Amino acid sequence: MIDNKLKDKDGFETMYLNMGPQHPSTHGVLRLGLVLDGEVIVSAEPDIGYLHRGMEKLAEHRTYQANIAMSDRFDYVTSMNNNFVVALAIEKLLGVEIPKRAHYLRILMAELNRVVNHILLFGFFAMDLGATTALIFGFREREEVLDLFESVTGARLTYNYFRVGGVARDLPEDFIQKTGAFIKLMRKRIKDYDDLVTNNVIFRDRSVGIGKISKEDILAYSLSGPVMRASGIKYDIRKDDTYSVYKEFDFNIPTREDGDCFDRYLLRMLELRESLKIIEQVLVKLEPGEIMAKVPKVIKPPAGEAYIRTESPKGELSVYLVSDGTVNPYRFHLRAPSFINLQILQKILPGVKVADVIAILGSIDIVLGEVDR
């Protein structure tokens, strides 16, 4: 709790406002305790834990394969990327090499999921600033990708597609052609997005210069992902500490300089284009082949530990996995990017107006499933 007897600068009483956990704009069950001086925020404290399910503890009582199934529920918007990091960590413990085609399929799915995340951000961020149409547009395009995912995995949200040593199923016949069509469609739609939202004067007025995060703060709070790159730090784990076969692909890492809400939004739109580029290259490189390595039926990695970092759409998603040689992990720790990026709110919210809180929160892009775990 914040002390709501805090006085404003003229010595008058302040007001304490609970924003959330049922507020439609807090992206899930986040509670923000705001101390207000009129419409300006004096101090802010995010209160989390409403969606806590004890996933890290539960993981200690699940088999390794079941842990991949559970990882769908961390950040439910980008399940594929969560699957990816857990599968990589287990494979590092086991020391298995996975087939080429499985690598490509994994990257294909992870990048498609990045596209989903960024178009949802487009929708939600514009919605937070009052543009309902954009939200519907975002969901419409997401539906196309979900149909693709559904045809491969059989589910629309919790895919559970990755296996220890490969992936669960091969692609259906028309997948490549459908994905190609989606890329074309998406490129056209991005133009619409720009007309509708990016170049809109009102949207720019509401987001340019709002919620600036400086480079020093980024480093001090160890923020990662698009939030970091929007403040001018060019660092992407896919390039700088590459994993899987990302080094075979040619893509750029966009950066912006100002670190305000608009830059964070625009950076995602630029990344979206890069992801489409990667997907296109994967589709060309895909060759028929094995999709599963030979792994024992019962997975019992030797005692040891593994730390794997990946670039999820929200930032640096890492897993620390300790094995004691049994069928269940001894310790499972997740470095959730949403959780760490959320901390910056306390620093940048004081001094802004209430309406901008929504914009700043939307531009940081958190998912409470991952924050609370």
**Tokens coding 235:** 């660092």
Q: Shortest approach of other proteins to residue 280 CB, angstroms?
A: 24
Site for other proteins in 73-112 (CB under 8 A): none
CA distance 40 to 53: 34
Cβ atoms 63, 328 nearer than 8 A: yes
Q: Shortest approach of other proteins to residue 269 CB, angstroms?
A: 15
What is the torsional sign of CA 246, 249, 250, 254? negative
- Contact between 363 and other proteins per CB under 8 A: no
Closest among 7, 153, 141, 180 to 80, alpha carbons compared? 153
Binds other proteins (CB under 8 A): choice among 97, 192, 240, 324: 192
Cβ atoms 116, 145 nearer than 8 A: yes
Site for other proteins in 125-144 (CB under 8 A): 133, 140, 143
Q: Shortest approach of other proteins to residue 79 CB, angstroms?
A: 11
Nearer to other proteins, 1 or 298 (CB): 298
The site for other proteins, by CB under 8 A, has a size of 27
CA distance 139 to 117: 10
Q: Shortest approach of other proteins to residue 296 CB, angstroms?
A: 13
CA distance 83 to 68: 6
Closest among 373, 313, 363 to 126, alpha carbons compared? 363
Stretch of 37-45, 189-197, 239-247, 316-324 contacting other proteins, by CB under 8 A: 189-197
Q: Shortest approach of other proteins to residue 143 CB, angstroms?
A: 7
Q: Shortest approach of other proteins to residue 117 CB, angstroms?
A: 20
Nearer to other proteins, 204 or 277 (CB): 204
Site for other proteins in 198-257 (CB under 8 A): 199-202, 205
x/- track of binding to other proteins for residues 141-170 (CB under 8 A): --x------xx-xxx--x-x-------xx-
Q: Each residue of 335-364: b (16+ CB within 10 Å) or e? A: bbbbbbbbebbeebbeebeeebbbbbbbbb
Binds other proteins (CB under 8 A): choice among 36, 70, 102, 127: 70
CA distance 209 to 225: 20
DSSP for 280-312 reads HHHHHH------B----SS--PPSEEEEEEEEE
Q: Shortest approach of other proteins to residue 50 CB, angstroms?
A: 21
Closest among 365, 369, 311, 344 to 222, alpha carbons compared? 344
Binds other proteins (CB under 8 A): choice among 2, 40, 51, 66: 66
Nearer to other proteins, 202 or 219 (CB): 202
Nearer to other proteins, 199 or 214 (CB): 199
Stretch of 15-23, 65-73, 110-118, 253-261 contacting other proteins, by CB under 8 A: 65-73
Q: Shortest approach of other proteins to residue 192 CB, angstroms?
A: 5
**Tokens coding 218:** 């980024």
CA distance 278 to 272: 10
What is the torsional sign of CA 281, 153, 337, 212? positive
Q: Shortest approach of other proteins to residue 292 CB, angstroms?
A: 11
Degrees to nearest 5, angle at CA 190 with 365 and 215: 40
Binds other proteins (CB under 8 A): choice among 13, 60, 174, 195: 195
Residue 167 forms beta bridges with which residues? 162
Stretch of 77-85, 174-182, 190-198, 244-252 contacting other proteins, by CB under 8 A: 190-198
Q: Shortest approach of other proteins to residue 231 CB, angstroms?
A: 27
- Using CB under 8 A as the criterion, which residues of the chain lie in contact with other proteins when the complex forms? 62-63, 65-66, 69-70, 133, 140, 143, 150-151, 153-155, 158, 160, 168-169, 192, 195-197, 199-202, 205
